[in-house]
A and B are shown apart, each in its own frame.
Chain A
């Protein structure tokens, strides 16, 4: 069976546009609201990345930290994350879902139990921020056996030799980090430079779907639309924070922003 993630890229390609990936934190600002957000943006999104929040995230900037803290403070547990995904998939079974987080949470849950639970909640892919290659080899093979895509990360600091090896060991999708930054940083590199690096990756294996993330907002997204996919995370988390501050409904506000993002790349 082809992973729904690959199908999502194919569909976007047929429409001559990059796939749109969004990142939201499960349980932000509540379990119910985060599920409502997913449902409301689903039409405009090709792949949903859902964060399982950690309280010591070493690669996340302020926006995602704020979202994560909100979710944890509201009592979100890992099992709630699976429940949210399962509930979402009841209505949108073909919409791919990627879980993203830090290794300690998977380790405490137990790798095998975690993957079994992913499988049963129809999770399609996993990103583990602090489990780099080659340390992730065993775990990524476990994912493969369960038909869950393990998404390898690449960054501007990744050497050419390393790029080749990681891409060779990667599954259908790879994730290129646009710049030296935590999530949500201001885009400090020109889109042209980012795409040069992106093309270098594509040249190594054109068949792998490569997405670009970090620093992508309404302002910067259209300049990067030649990529296979683009991830927006912090801009959405920021919108939730803003909505709460002004006592507005985050569901409608996030939904509007995502529609705009989609428009910019269509």
Chain B
């Protein structure tokens, strides 16, 4: 298994849609074959179409607000001693998280396919909120599928979705979180694929959805590459890019431009959700060695039992609370290009406390997992080493959890 150079990772799959011959693919019911094929053709066409690219860039700049900031966390670095810690503040983006890139691109594709309805899944509520924003912007009718447990714990985002005119469809089945929201959204699409476009909220699902999402979030690393060159007179000798991984859309976007660099120069660290400290449940299929399986139309490492039933997951962070992971990250893991670890709920909360104590930054619980790893390793590293964390979401949505766990009002 090897990564090819000079070809975007999203395009390094075989004719059946598998990366490294085993991750990804399209395990879908026959009914979805045609809509998936149509979408695949449309996307192939659009990504080569100059006026579509112009439109994308226009909205990325004027609607999303690219580029997002790249800042040094001076005080945090000084406090920890060791490596210099930087942040790519992707939460600057309109709506407060990276999910806006994928949502905007899907809305543009939906428009271009002449469909008036768009549906999507959401865990933390950011994918849903952003899709509802994009739907409003582009005049599309929008339905968001969300587990009832997540609806309760991410209320601010639900309020935003409703305000944008989207309908939230509560999902009561299974663990009542993201995994069931994705299933229910796919079922809805099976029944309505003739009139409706589906947006999968991360780099998961059937092959084409992995590609569209990765293509959209890649904007993050395109910006970062320029920003690094601008900030440093000499390109740093060693950079560590740390990102949380749930489905893996922000991590892929944060890394995609740098994949061809040797890992001795630019290292990737993905941080999964380890769940509560003393719980057996987690949402860390890569770092806890889950087996290969098929979930939501794609083969990836999946938290599951011996029989292939999908395990319940547990994490304080709704956005990372998912038993599968992107096939792109499975590929990056097995080719050893990226390494993956996890942070527990408690570690993420402590990281949140420390970051907000020293910096004017308010990372949500998802990137707090990434900060936990940065805080762990930075003191041991030389100060020439540049650690960059993708602060991919804003903590406004987490105010209820943070109040409960830290007794703090944000």
Instruction: Judge whether B81 is part of the interface by a CB distance below 8 angstroms.
Output: no
Considering the complex, give the chain B residue whose CB is closest to the CB of A53.
B309
Pairwise interchain contact A132-B183, C-beta atoms closer than 8 A: no
Q: How far is the CA of A57 from the CA of B28 in the complex (A)?
A: 11
- Taking a contact as CB atoms closer than 8 A, the residue among B31, B174, B191, B297 that contacts A55 in the complex is B174
Residues of A in contact with B, size category: 35 or more
Which one of B112-120, B208-216, B235-243, B288-296 is at the A interface?
B288-296
Q: How far is the CA of A56 from the CA of B312 in the complex (A)?
A: 11
Considering the complex, give the chain B residue whose CB is closest to the CB of A175.
B30
What is the number of contacts between chain A and chain B, taking CB atoms within 8 Å? 111
Pairwise interchain contact B33-A162, C-beta atoms closer than 8 A: yes
- Secondary structure of the A side of the interface? loop
Which one of A105-113, A140-148, A200-208 is at the B interface?
A105-113
Instruction: Judge whether B96 is part of the interface by a CB distance below 8 angstroms.
Output: no
- Which residues in chain B, 141-185, are within 8 Å of chain A measured between CB atoms? 173-174, 179-180, 183
Pairwise interchain contact A56-B28, C-beta atoms closer than 8 A: no
Instruction: Judge whether B26 is part of the interface by a CB distance below 8 angstroms.
Output: yes
Instruction: Judge whether B306 is part of the interface by a CB distance below 8 angstroms.
Output: yes
Pairwise interchain contact B294-A61, C-beta atoms closer than 8 A: no
- Name the B residues within 8 Å of A57 (CB-CB): 183
Q: Which of A109, A130, A131, A154 has the most CB of B within 10 A?
A: A130
Considering the complex, give the chain B residue whose CB is closest to the CB of A134.
B16
Interface string of B14-40 (1 = CB under 8 A from A): 001000000001111111111100000
Pairwise interchain contact A180-B310, C-beta atoms closer than 8 A: no
Pairwise interchain contact A105-B31, C-beta atoms closer than 8 A: no
Instruction: Judge whether B380 is part of the interface by a CB distance below 8 angstroms.
Output: no
Pairwise interchain contact A104-B33, C-beta atoms closer than 8 A: no
Pairwise interchain contact B183-A180, C-beta atoms closer than 8 A: no
Instruction: Judge whether B104 is part of the interface by a CB distance below 8 angstroms.
Output: no
Considering the complex, give the chain A residue whose CB is closest to the CB of B296.
A58
Instruction: Judge whether A182 is part of the interface by a CB distance below 8 angstroms.
Output: yes
- Taking a contact as CB atoms closer than 8 A, the residue among B16, B28, B30, B307 that contacts A177 in the complex is B30
- Name the B residues within 8 Å of A108 (CB-CB): 291, 293, 304, 306-308
- Name the A residues within 8 Å of B183 (CB-CB): 56-58
Pairwise interchain contact B191-A185, C-beta atoms closer than 8 A: yes
Instruction: Judge whether A78 is part of the interface by a CB distance below 8 angstroms.
Output: yes
- Name the B residues within 8 Å of A180 (CB-CB): 31, 190-194
Pairwise interchain contact B294-A104, C-beta atoms closer than 8 A: yes
Pairwise interchain contact A157-B308, C-beta atoms closer than 8 A: no
CB A128 to nearest CB in B, in angstroms, measures 9
Instruction: Judge whether A8 is part of the interface by a CB distance below 8 angstroms.
Output: no
Instruction: Judge whether A54 is part of the interface by a CB distance below 8 angstroms.
Output: yes
Q: How far is the CA of A129 from the CA of B302 in the complex (A)?
A: 19
- Name the A residues within 8 Å of B173 (CB-CB): 65, 69
Instruction: Judge whether B187 is part of the interface by a CB distance below 8 angstroms.
Output: yes
Pairwise interchain contact B309-A107, C-beta atoms closer than 8 A: no
Instruction: Judge whether A77 is part of the interface by a CB distance below 8 angstroms.
Output: yes
CB B205 to nearest CB in A, in angstroms, measures 10
Q: How far is the CA of A69 from the CA of B186 in the complex (A)?
A: 19
Known: A57-B183, A103-B27, A157-B30. 15 other contacts (CB 8 A): A56-B296, A58-B187, A77-B307, A104-B294, A105-B307, A105-B308, A105-B309, A107-B293, A131-B27, A133-B30, A156-B31, A157-B193, A162-B33, A177-B30, A180-B190
Query: Could you write out 25 A-B pairs with CB less than 8 Å apart?
Result: A54-B308, A56-B174, A56-B295, A56-B296, A56-B309, A58-B186, A58-B190, A59-B31, A59-B187, A59-B190, A104-B304, A105-B308, A106-B308, A107-B293, A107-B308, A131-B27, A132-B28, A132-B33, A153-B30, A155-B30, A158-B30, A177-B31, A180-B192, A182-B187, A182-B190
Q: A residues within 8 Å of B by Cβ?
A: 54-61, 65, 69, 72, 77-78, 102-109, 129-133, 135, 153-159, 162, 177, 180-182, 185
